[in-house]
Amino acid sequence: MKYSAKGFRPFYHQFALFPIDAIGNTVKDFEHSHEADSVLTYGYVDHETGFRFEVLSTASSQNGTPQIFNDRPEGIRVFIKAEVLNDTDAIVLENRDELCAANKETIDSIIDGYECDEEIMNSRTMEFLDESRDPICIDDVQVLLYKEGNQTEACWVRISGLQEHFIVGEMLNEPYQDFGYHIGDTIGFFVQKTDDDRIICVCDMNPTAKITREDLKDGLMLKEAIGRFNNERNEENFFNILELLRDSDVWVPCTCVLSENDQTAIEKMVDEAGDDLSSMKGMEFSNKDQIRMIPDILQNGDDFFFPVFSSDEEMGEYGDGFSKIETEFLHAINLARNNEKELKGIVINAFTEPFVLDKELFDIVEKMKTRLTDTTRN
């Protein structure tokens, strides 16, 4: 079996024997290297550099049943890039339980050091992406960029997350044409089937219909877009919400926190009023120090969300207990990022028709191009 013919899947988290000659003198310090004809390896993925094999031991495969010498010197680790062994015949071993037990410490260190988050791990199980994958850097896929006025252009993108309707990744090279996105930017892309039944990855970078600030003023356009998506959860409706969020103002419920000096001044006013609190009606108070506005955080099970609303009316009775701050959604993203809690994302209109923007999508919204025809504020 060759990696070049079968790809990464037969070797991923598997034990395989390769001829010792294929890796040069990298195991010269192993005790049985001079009598061995093979090396025992374990296959894994480094998210940035691609598929690699770690050499666990030298071995002999001359008598049919491989003899594993377990002779790797303490403190020595040998890693081989997949491209080195790409065209080398290998034997994938079946006796996993015994091999796992003998190499538990090394395998655990590989898992701790190189395994990615669950979404990236799940993307590796998606065989329909294999036609677009780099054969070595398997988390990198070739994405076709589309934009009116440009020729279709291929770009390498490193997968960083999965969403219900698309895949998220970082552009690894600078496009030759002006797509409005650049190397290092986060984009969302889809999978499509061609007329000849090939599977390709596609990113549509065409701007959608233009809007004005007046269109967004009361938050109704955003609210209606969320309603359409919740009724028909497709890619077009989803990205329409993201584009609207990029340009929208939203309302954030906050708790008003006074300084100790200002709080003492208010308490003094209350004390002076005594039992006649009605006498305070109409009184004015001017703060001396800066007032802190602390956004509220909602919890659902073990997950925390930063709440924003398309209008102050959308808060309902919940909003009666807070100060309501209107701000750009892009600023709300920064507030969410800087919150002391580990947030799952931002929830829009949590108590009517909610929409959750996962934190992995913050970058995408920030880097979207504006749809506004009037970009200056009043």
Residue 259 has pLDDT above 80, yes or no: no
Comparing 230 with 210, which gets the higher pLDDT?
Answer: 230
Both 241 and 161 in a single domain? no
Specify the pLDDT at position 78: 94
In what side-by-side order are the strands of the sheet with 303-308? Answer: 298-300, 303-308, 345-348, 355-358
Phi and psi, residue 133, nearest 5°:
-75, 150
pLDDT (tens digit per residue) in 170-206 = 999 999 999 888 999 888 899 988 888 899 999 988 7
- Residue 154, SS3 per DSSP: strand
Considering 149, 181, 204, which residue would you say is the last residue of a domain? Answer: 204
Residue 297 lies in a domain: yes
Comparing 196 with 8, which gets the higher pLDDT?
Answer: 8
Residue 374 lies in a domain: no
Residue 377 has pLDDT above 60, yes or no: no
The arithmetic mean of pLDDT across residues 18-35, rounded, is 92
Considering 90, 115, 140, which residue would you say is the last residue of a domain? Answer: 115
The arithmetic mean of pLDDT across residues 9-22, rounded, is 95
Q: In 198-237, which positions are buried (b, 16+ CB within 10 angstroms) versus exposed (e)?
A: eebbebbbeeeeebebebbeebebbbebbeebeeeeeeeb
Considering 115, 136, 156, which residue would you say is the last residue of a domain? Answer: 115
pLDDT cut 70: percent of the chain above it? 89
Residue 148 lies in a domain: yes
Both 238 and 357 in a single domain? yes
Alpha helices in the chain (DSSP H): 3-6, 96-102, 104-114, 118-123, 213-216, 220-231, 235-247, 260-273, 329-337, 362-367
Both 179 and 248 in a single domain? no
DSSP string, 157-168: EEEEEE-SS-EE
CA distance 345 to 357: 5
Specify the pLDDT at position 258: 59
Specify the pLDDT at position 85: 95
Q: At 101, which amino acid appears?
A: A
Specify the pLDDT at position 378: 45
CA distance 187 to 367: 9
Range of the domain at 189: 120-204
Residue 48's pLDDT band, with cuts at 50, 70 and 90, is: very high
**Per-residue H/E/C for 206-217:** CCCCCECHHHHC
For 313, half-sphere exposure in the C-beta direction (CA atoms, 13 angstrom radius) is 4
Specify the pLDDT at position 260: 64
Residue 376 lies in a domain: no
Residue 108 lies in a domain: yes
Residue 75 lies in a domain: yes
The dihedral region occupied by 115, where left means phi > 0, alpha psi between -120 and 50, and beta the remainder, is beta
Specify the pLDDT at position 156: 98
Both 354 and 262 in a single domain? yes
Residue 270 has pLDDT above 70, yes or no: no
Specify the pLDDT at position 195: 87
Residue 91 lies in a domain: yes
Tally of domains within the chain: 3
Q: In 327-339, which positions are buried (b, 16+ CB within 10 angstroms) versus exposed (e)?
A: bebbebbebbeee
Specify the pLDDT at position 328: 95
Comparing 263 with 91, which gets the higher pLDDT?
Answer: 91
Residue 16's pLDDT band, with cuts at 50, 70 and 90, is: very high
Whether residue 84 contacts residue 90, with contact meaning beta carbons closer than 8 Å, is answered with: no
pLDDT (tens digit per residue) in 104-136 = 999 999 988 888 889 999 999 999 999 999 999
Both 96 and 150 in a single domain? no
pLDDT (tens digit per residue) in 310-329 = 999 999 999 988 989 999 99
Strand pairing class (355-358; 298-300) = unpaired
